[in-house]
Amino acid sequence: MASGKPASGEDSLIARYFRPLATDPGAFRLDDDAAALKPSGDDVVVTTDAIVEGVHFLPDDPPETVARKALRVNLSDLAAKGATPAGFVLALALRSADEAWLEPFATALGEDAALFGCPLVGGDTVSTPGPLMVSVTAFGRVPPGKMVHRSGAKPGERVMVTGTIGDAALGLAILRGGKVHAAASDTAAREMLVGRYRVPQPRVAMAEIVREYASASMDVSDGLAGDLTKLCGVSGVSAVVDLEQVPLSGAAQGLVSRGIVGLETLIASGDDYEILCTIPEDRVQAFEAAVQRAGVALSSIGTIVAGNSVPKFVDKEGKEIALERLSYSHF
Amino acid sequence: MASGKPASGEDSLIARYFRPLATDPGAFRLDDDAAALKPSGDDVVVTTDAIVEGVHFLPDDPPETVARKALRVNLSDLAAKGATPAGFVLALALRSADEAWLEPFATALGEDAALFGCPLVGGDTVSTPGPLMVSVTAFGRVPPGKMVHRSGAKPGERVMVTGTIGDAALGLAILRGGKVHAAASDTAAREMLVGRYRVPQPRVAMAEIVREYASASMDVSDGLAGDLTKLCGVSGVSAVVDLEQVPLSGAAQGLVSRGIVGLETLIASGDDYEILCTIPEDRVQAFEAAVQRAGVALSSIGTIVAGNSVPKFVDKEGKEIALERLSYSHF
């Protein structure tokens, strides 16, 4: 106590584990009650996503992947809005100050913060008698008025999506056991699918491209079908999606073709963290070229149409497939 | 489903309860994945504080007071940093979408957002199997570089605090039963103390004054003694506090003088949400006049001194009182 430093466990764990991550000068070494974001002339884009043990991650998920997922689900939102990461704050609710958990959590969080250029600027660490919860609020920057919205899709535009859909849902199914677990016997495929559930790949390389080309954009976090429904609803349009064009990984394709899981389940499951956007037809070619240069996989899955009905999902015979559910909902 | 709107319970509860609060144009009616804060030339001050059922509020606290506390603890931080409120995002973890709880929660949150000029701009609602948790990240604005820090206190400066100390701790003690509950027989006094625990009064009127006069400032949330220790630690100074000058409400004074609770307990308990700041001696008079004009009670409780030891707390005989603990810590 002679040093003038408080003896609080909370402060010492912040100093030990989180101060090294607070590399931005506006974080004031986490020595203060607040952070300061300098004015840059840009709009500050703000997104918040919380992940809860037993809901968004499993109790025995490694602390490293919990940390990465908490940050990356927010980076995914920023990318879909066309925003460049600028920093984040962390509210962490813990049952105990377990160093064996906190040390790898903070190390992985710091690695991702550096990787994505999104430093920790502040936070709050509280105790909870319940499940662990990690709440992140992330900040990005876009030129004034240039945030890309869910609204803005117009009839005739192309519906496009990055990466592959459904892998994370299969990864979760593998971790939970059951028929997908039994069927996915290939170790490499299992690891890929579980990895997609635990550690999303936010499409940060897409931010500028989305800003340049997309009329509407969002990240796919609650299921492709439901998220497209939301985008169409806010835009006041509908869509027709060709189910055959929905991009699947080899592992997912194998499970679908063997009848282990239905494509309609995969497009209604969460945790993809891909970017879903709409592109005016005359800009599709340039958009595709830009996305290719960024090294991101891209698929054209459908077309925006007039109307206000739920998007139609049609199979290779052109027959509409009715979906029992569109997406994951917490309630 | 014909409307093109998703049927998700999560979306409908956001639309019903929280959209009416999203009055800022940058909130995009909560229809989007993110909010946008317009550039104003000011620094954006960011603070985050989470409150957990059973830790920061009691399971049977009314939803209205939970809402107000969640926002106000953050507004208290902004005020102490000299920042004017600009907006907030809310991450809400609920066991169920209980309308009888959500409706009064959202109504009270909206009232406070309007009262303090701090609109809801975004959020995330998730399910949890555990205790309810409300995590708020609030934004304020200060002219560039003008955020008031914990560091900056210098020897010879006056230590000042707004309002009264210890009431919230007594309110919590009353709610928990025991000797304070038995001793606090006056109904009005009990209600005042419980009210101070459940609904903090953030000193938003102090923001500009703190910016104008204070060399260092923070809000008192974990206990006056511990928080002053933190301020001194970061400033590289120490302090001497005259315990007789620590401001107590009449109710608290009565309990102390009857020996029900010790003053040393009150200055080491949390939830005061007053502003603790240091003022250069030659500015004290002008500061006091400005605070009086703002209608906020103010006390001068001590002096900053050189050194790096924990602040000394001395009684009316000038004898140092050793504190067993300085503040509340979560771990």
| Tens of pLDDT, residues B179-188 | 888 888 889 9
| Residues of chain A found within 8 Å of residue B43, distances taken between Cβ atoms | 26, 36-39
Are B46 and A34 in contact, with CB atoms under 8 Å apart?
Answer: yes
Q: Collapse the DSSP code of B151 into the 3-class scheme (helix H, G, I; strand E, B; otherwise coil) and give the result.
A: coil
Minimal Cα–Cα distance from A183 to chain B, Å? 30
Are B180 and B170 in contact, with CB atoms under 8 Å apart?
Answer: yes
CATH homologous superfamily for the domain B158-314: PurM-like C-terminal domain (3.90.650.10)
Minimal Cα–Cα distance from A127 to chain B, Å? 5
What pLDDT score was predicted for residue B2?
Answer: 31
CATH homologous superfamily for the domain A9-142: PurM-like, N-terminal domain (3.30.1330.10)
| Alpha-carbon dihedral angle through residues B289, B291, B297, B300, given to the nearest 10 degrees | -70
**B1, B36, B41 member nearest A45 (Cβ):** B36
Q: Among candidates B82, B14, B92, which has minimal Cα distance to B50?
A: B92
What angle in degrees, to the nearest 10, is found between the helix axes of B99-115 and B63-80?
Answer: 30
User: Using CA atoms, how far apart are residues A299 and A62, in angstroms rounded to an integer?
Assistant: 32
A238-242 β-sheet, strand order: A216-220, A274-279, A158-162, A298-305, A238-242, A312-314
| Residues of chain B found within 8 Å of residue A147, distances taken between Cβ atoms | 32, 34, 36
Strands A238-242 and B35-37: unpaired
Find tokens 């809000």 and name the residue: B219
ipTM over 0.95: no
What pLDDT score was predicted for residue A325?
Answer: 82
> Which residues on neighbouring strands pair with residue A99, listed in sequence order?
none
| Residue-wise DSSP of A153-166 | --TTPEEEEES-SS
Contact at CB, B45 and A35, closer than 8 angstroms: yes
Kindly state the greatest CA–CA separation across chain B.
Answer: 78
Contacts A–B by Cβ distance under 8 A? 294
Cα–Cα separations (whole angstroms), residue A115 to A14, A27, A76, A119, B25: 21, 18, 14, 10, 32
Contact at CB, A6 and B46, closer than 8 angstroms: no
A181 annotated to a ligand binding site: no
Residue B2 phi, psi (nearest 5): -70, -15
**A34, A52, A226 member nearest B8 (Cβ):** A226
Contact at CB, A330 and B28, closer than 8 angstroms: no
Determine the residue among A96, A128, A211, A320 to mutate to test chain B binding: the one whose Cβ has the most chain B Cβ atoms within 10 Å: A128
Cα–Cα separations (whole angstroms), residue A191 to A59, A108, A120, A222, B196: 18, 19, 29, 22, 52
What pLDDT score was predicted for residue A327?
Answer: 80
Query: Which residues of chain B, if any, have pLDDT below 50?
Result: 1-7
Contact at CB, B331 and A42, closer than 8 angstroms: no
Q: Which helix (H) or strand (E) holds B174?
A: helix B167-175
Are A241 and A323 in contact, with CB atoms under 8 Å apart?
Answer: no
Exposure string of B247-271, with b = 16+ CB inside 10 Å and e = fewer, is bbbebbeebbeeebbebbbbbbbbb
Cα–Cα separations (whole angstroms), residue A280 to A146, A161, B45, B207: 17, 14, 38, 48
User: Using CA atoms, how far apart are residues B153 and B303, in angstroms rounded to an integer?
Assistant: 10
Q: Among candidates B62, B168, B53, which has minimal Cα distance to B107?
A: B62
What pLDDT score was predicted for residue B3?
Answer: 32
| Residues of chain A found within 8 Å of residue B45, distances taken between Cβ atoms | 34-37
What pLDDT score was predicted for residue A188?
Answer: 93
**A36, A37, A219 member nearest B33 (Cβ):** A219
Minimal Cα–Cα distance from A267 to chain B, Å? 15
Predicted confidence (pLDDT) per residue in A106-137, tens digit: 999 999 999 999 999 999 999 999 999 999 99
Minimal Cα–Cα distance from A179 to chain B, Å? 26
| Residues of chain A found within 8 Å of residue B8, distances taken between Cβ atoms | 222, 226, 326-327, 329, 331
What pLDDT score was predicted for residue A46?
Answer: 97
For CATH 3.90.650.10, the residue range(s) in chain A are 158-314
User: Using CA atoms, how far apart are residues B122 and B3, in angstroms rounded to an integer?
Assistant: 24
User: Using CA atoms, how far apart are residues B36 and B58, in angstroms rounded to an integer?
Assistant: 34
User: Using CA atoms, how far apart are residues B8 and B13, in angstroms rounded to an integer?
Assistant: 9
| Residues of chain B found within 8 Å of residue A83, distances taken between Cβ atoms | 34
Query: Which residues of chain A, if any, have pLDDT below 70?
Result: 1-8, 330
